[in-house]
């Protein structure tokens, strides 16, 4: 410990190191930790460690990191000695530009950011094929919308256990009945009733835009457009090597403009995939979008170039929060397909419905599952 | 170790709860800092028991609010006693009355049914222990409501006005993590994660909870359960299950473990059909051999 900083200064530095290593602690936690330090025996190293872990509210899966950082701080070695894990995905795409050369869209990265090597999955000149976008016909979208209206209704058809006032049938609500009765000198003329509330569905669509998904792009864009029209509380994210929120870009009334915006907004379209890193980023940054009433729909072939352990952790976190996880895999359209890719195998235990998604018939199957 | 924490640990142990230093530290910090304690961990590691013991150690009342999906403020906070109110109105009809006075009367504290949360903050004889059990089962809306009560420690009843806490209760929240608890609530609390007990701790619990159990059998039982927890099962047995099983073996007058008796009593430990089917024959014989080996 550095005595010059004082205990509070030390604590602030320690909290900073925790944040740097991905443990989320806020100012309130620091205050709690400082208070805890006034209560524990400061000469008992184990007790200080336990007390800080409790006061900083360190979740179980971050204990190992916490203990490492604690040891480093207590022994006087700087926190910099503890290796900082690399960021889960490149967050910053500043300086990158999309160029339209008449036939295709290219992503132009500034010189310094150009990735090294020529791994096929992470090519810097990600190509967005405009052709497949153009074939998105209005008729197809209309057909899909009809199907999705039914689908959305299924997603919404869950009744909450919470009771809300109703004019129809339901259990007697004495509190409200009695309020009414007061107006008529205590005579109960009409019984107020309550029934279980109908939940508005919330859907998060996570769509894989990597190169291996290209043949299905057209269909899935139609899916996204239709879904956007029928479900009010919908968030759409595109992911490949990075995660991009595209909810605003997808406006059903303006399909051509939407496609332009998508082409501009989604980096590395048709590039490689890091599903694990992207889902982990989603959980970390946008986890609040997923609650007990949220259905998460992941559209991906599960061909992951990244870390499958990361994928497993992210899927488990999602599964704990979400009401349901649906994984649509276009490869399943092939009857010989078996989910043997490492990525798919880790993800499957956390998926409630795993089904194909390459044509309308496969969506009908999803509908039957929701029944 | 801080003397107060050591004393608390000893007091809890006297009351039949084997508390690790981390548990005692968390309870001590929560009572001293007057913050709710959020306890997470697998089912059956003694989360609820912790609150009960705390109430006994502090010599105060335990007020329990069991959460479930659809739990609403009426059930958790207060409700009017409508039957009595109606009755009072009927009586009032027969005599001349002042309507305003009557309304004041029937919306008085006398006609208010206090539910756990209100009871916890208005208890006269010192702060009670408020156990909010399985908060993960209540919905997000209730969590937000609870957060409000726990930060202000006051409750507004429209007909009565604001009721402030006479004491700030000791609050223990438990969660099985069937749902992730919101960050806001988590930040408000101190946090304790309870793991399955070590061999020594489980053996001590067993000695305390099942008197009359043969020492050798107690060791074998503990070793068996500890080994069982290392297997890939859907639902790992908790300490509560270990105690149940020991009691079953005691009733059956067993003094050692053998494959046959373990086979027929395994339902005390494993409560999932898949797990039961997984743990038969070869696996069972191996576990029994391991448990019965000295050392």
* Domain assignment of residue A189, given as a range: 161-198
Instruction: Give the ranges where A75-137 is alpha helix by DSSP (H).
Output: 130-134
**Is the distance from CB of A144 to CB of A230 less than 8 angstroms?**
no
| A59-81 CB burial, b ≥16 within 10 A, e <16 | beebeebbeebbebbeeeeebee
Residue A130 C-beta-side C-alpha neighbours within 13 Å? 14
Question: Domain B3-77+115-194 carries which CATH code?
Answer: 3.40.50.300
Q: What's the pTM?
A: 0.68
Residue A86 lies in a domain: no
Residue A239 lies in a domain: yes
Share of chain B above pLDDT 70, in %: 99
Q: Are residues A145 and A123 in the same domain?
A: yes
| B26 or A256, greater pLDDT | B26
Residue A39 lies in a domain: yes
- A203: pLDDT confidence band, cut at 50, 70 and 90? confident
B166 pLDDT higher than 50 = yes
Over residues B160-165, the mean pLDDT reads 87
Over residues B83-100, the mean pLDDT reads 82
Query: For chain B, what are the domain ranges?
Result: 3-77+115-194, 199-292
B chain contacts of residue A292, beta-carbon cutoff 8 Å: 139-140, 179
Place of tokens 């309550």: A194
Interface test with B, best of A42, A44, A50, A197 (most B CBs within 10 A): A50
Mean confidence (pLDDT) of chain A = 73
Q: Are residues A218 and A302 in the same domain?
A: yes
Cβ count near B97 (within 10 Å): 13
Mark which of A29, A54, A81 sits at the end of a domain.
Answer: A81
- B33: pLDDT confidence band, cut at 50, 70 and 90? very high
Q: Are residues A192 and A210 in the same domain?
A: no
The ipTM value here is: 0.83
Lowest-confidence region among A51-55, A196-200, A324-328, B104-108: A196-200
Residue A255 lies in a domain: yes
Q: Are residues A244 and A347 in the same domain?
A: yes
| B33-61 CB burial, b ≥16 within 10 A, e <16 | bebbbbbbbbbbbbbbebbbbbbbbbebb
- Compute chain B's Rg from CA coordinates: 24
Q: Are residues A279 and A354 in the same domain?
A: yes
Q: What is the pLDDT of residues B252-282, one digit of tens each?
A: 988 888 888 888 898 899 988 878 887 777 6
B11 pLDDT higher than 60 = yes
- Distance in angstroms (rounded) separating the CA atoms of residues A200 and A292: 12
pLDDT at B58: 94
pLDDT at A92: 36
B176's CB contacts (< 8 A; 6+ apart) are: B40, B41, B42, B43, B134, B136
Q: What is the pLDDT of residues A153-186, one digit of tens each?
A: 666 556 666 777 888 788 888 778 877 776 776 6
pLDDT at A370: 65
Nearest to A50 among B25, B82, B139 (CB): B25
CA B121 to chain A, closest CA, distance in angstroms equals: 23
Residue A87 lies in a domain: no
Over residues B88-110, the mean pLDDT reads 83
A78 pLDDT higher than 90 = no
β-partners of residue A206 are A237, A298
CA A199 to chain B, closest CA, distance in angstroms equals: 12
pLDDT at A55: 95
| B53 or A203, greater pLDDT | B53
| A85 or A68, greater pLDDT | A68
Q: In total, how many domains does chain A have?
A: 3
Residue A89 lies in a domain: no
Interface test with B, best of A54, A289, A296 (most B CBs within 10 A): A54
Q: Are residues A222 and A359 in the same domain?
A: yes
Mean confidence (pLDDT) of chain B = 88
Cross-sheet strand order for the sheet of A105-108: A97-100, A105-108, A127-128
- Distance in angstroms (rounded) separating the CA atoms of residues A34 and A38: 7
Mark which of A17, A52, A81 sits at the end of a domain.
Answer: A81
Q: Are residues A119 and A226 in the same domain?
A: yes
- A359: pLDDT confidence band, cut at 50, 70 and 90? low
* CATH code, domain carrying A357: 3.40.50.410
Place of tokens 């029934």: A195
| A8 or B241, greater pLDDT | B241
A141's CB contacts (< 8 A; 6+ apart) are: A222, A225, A226, A252, A255
A76 pLDDT higher than 70 = no
Residues of A at the B interface, defined by Cβ within 8 angstroms: 24, 26, 28-29, 32, 35-36, 39-41, 44, 46-47, 50-51, 53-55, 57-60, 63, 160-163, 174-175, 178, 182, 185-186, 188, 196, 291-292, 317, 320-321
| A31 or A76, greater pLDDT | A31
Residue A360 lies in a domain: yes
């Amino acid at each position: 410990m550095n005595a010059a900083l004082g205990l509070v200064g030390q604590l602030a530095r320690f909290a900073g190191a925790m944040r740097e290593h991905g443990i989320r602690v806020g100012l309130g936690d620091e205050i709690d930790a400082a208070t805890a330090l006034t209560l524990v025996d400061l000469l008992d190293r184990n007790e200080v460690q336990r007390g800080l872990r409790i006061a900083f509210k360190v979740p179980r899966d971050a204990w190992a990191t916490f203990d490492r950082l604690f040891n480093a701080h207590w022994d006087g070695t700087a926190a910099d000695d503890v290796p900082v894990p690399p960021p889960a995905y490149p967050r910053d795409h500043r300086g990158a530009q999309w160029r339209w050369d008449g036939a295709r869209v290219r992503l132009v990265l500034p010189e310094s950011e150009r990735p090294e090597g020529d791994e096929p999955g992470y090519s810097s000149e990600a190509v967005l094929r405009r052709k497949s976008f153009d074939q998105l016909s209005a008729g197809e979208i209309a057909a899909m919308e009809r199907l999705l209206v039914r689908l959305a209704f299924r997603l919404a058809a869950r009744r909450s256990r919470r009771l809300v006032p109703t004019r129809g049938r339901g259990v007697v609500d004495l509190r409200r009945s009695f309020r009414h009765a007061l107006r008529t000198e205590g005579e109960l003329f009409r019984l107020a009733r309550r029934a279980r509330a109908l939940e508005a569905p919330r859907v998060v669509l996570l769509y894989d835009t990597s190169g291996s998904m290209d043949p299905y792009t057209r269909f899935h864009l139609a899916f996204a457009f239709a879904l956007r029209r029928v479900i009010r509380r919908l968030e759409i994210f595109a992911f490949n090597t990075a995660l991009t929120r595209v909810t605003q870009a997808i406006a059903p009334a303006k399909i051509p403009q939407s496609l332009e915006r998508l082409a501009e907004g989604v980096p590395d379209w048709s590039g490689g995939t890091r599903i694990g890193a992207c889902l982990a980023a989603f959980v970390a940054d946008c986890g609040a979008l997923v609650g007990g009433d949220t259905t998460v729909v992941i559209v991906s072939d599960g061909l992951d170039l990244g870390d499958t352990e990361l994928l497993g952790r992210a899927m488990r976190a999602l599964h704990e929060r979400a009401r349901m996880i649906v994984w649509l895999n276009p490869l399943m359209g092939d009857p010989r397909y078996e989910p043997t890719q490492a990525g798919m195998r880790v993800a499957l235990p956390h998926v409630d419905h795993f089904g194909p998604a390459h044509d309308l018939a496969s969506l009908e199957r999803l509908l039957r599952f929701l029944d | 170790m801080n003397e107060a924490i050591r004393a608390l640990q000893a007091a809890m142990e006297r009351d039949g709860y084997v508390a690790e230093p981390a548990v005692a530290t968390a309870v001590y910090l929560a009572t001293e800092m007057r913050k709710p304690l959020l306890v997470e961990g697998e089912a059956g590691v003694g989360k609820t028991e912790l609150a009960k013991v705390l109430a006994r150690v502090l010599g105060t009342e335990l007020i329990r609010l069991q959460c479930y999906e659809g739990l609403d403020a009426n059930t958790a906070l207060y409700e009017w006693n409508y039957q009595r109110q109606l009755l009072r109105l009927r009586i009032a009809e027969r005599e001349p009355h002042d309507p305003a006075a009557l309304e004041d009367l029937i919306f008085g504290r006398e006609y208010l049914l206090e539910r756990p949360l209100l009871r916890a903050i208005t208890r006269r004889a010192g702060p009670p222990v408020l156990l909010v059990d399985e908060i993960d089962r209540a919905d997000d809306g209730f969590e937000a409501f609870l957060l409000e009560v726990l930060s202000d420690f006051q409750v507004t009843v429209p007909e009565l006005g604001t009721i402030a806490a006479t004491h700030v209760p000791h609050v223990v929240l438990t969660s099985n993590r069937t749902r992730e608890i919101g960050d806001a609530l988590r930040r408000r609390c101190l946090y304790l994660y309870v793991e399955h007990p070590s061999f020594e701790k489980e053996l001590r619990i067993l000695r305390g909870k099942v008197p009359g159990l043969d020492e050798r059998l107690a060791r074998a039982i503990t070793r068996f359960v500890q080994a069982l927890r290392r297997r890939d099962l859907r639902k790992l047995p908790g300490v509560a299950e270990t105690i149940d099983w020991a009691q079953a073996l005691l009733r059956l007058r067993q003094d050692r473990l053998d494959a046959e008796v373990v086979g027929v009593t395994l339902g005390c430990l494993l409560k999932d059909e898949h797990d039961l089917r997984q743990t038969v024959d070869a696996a069972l014989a191996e576990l029994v051999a391991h448990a019965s080996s000295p050392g």
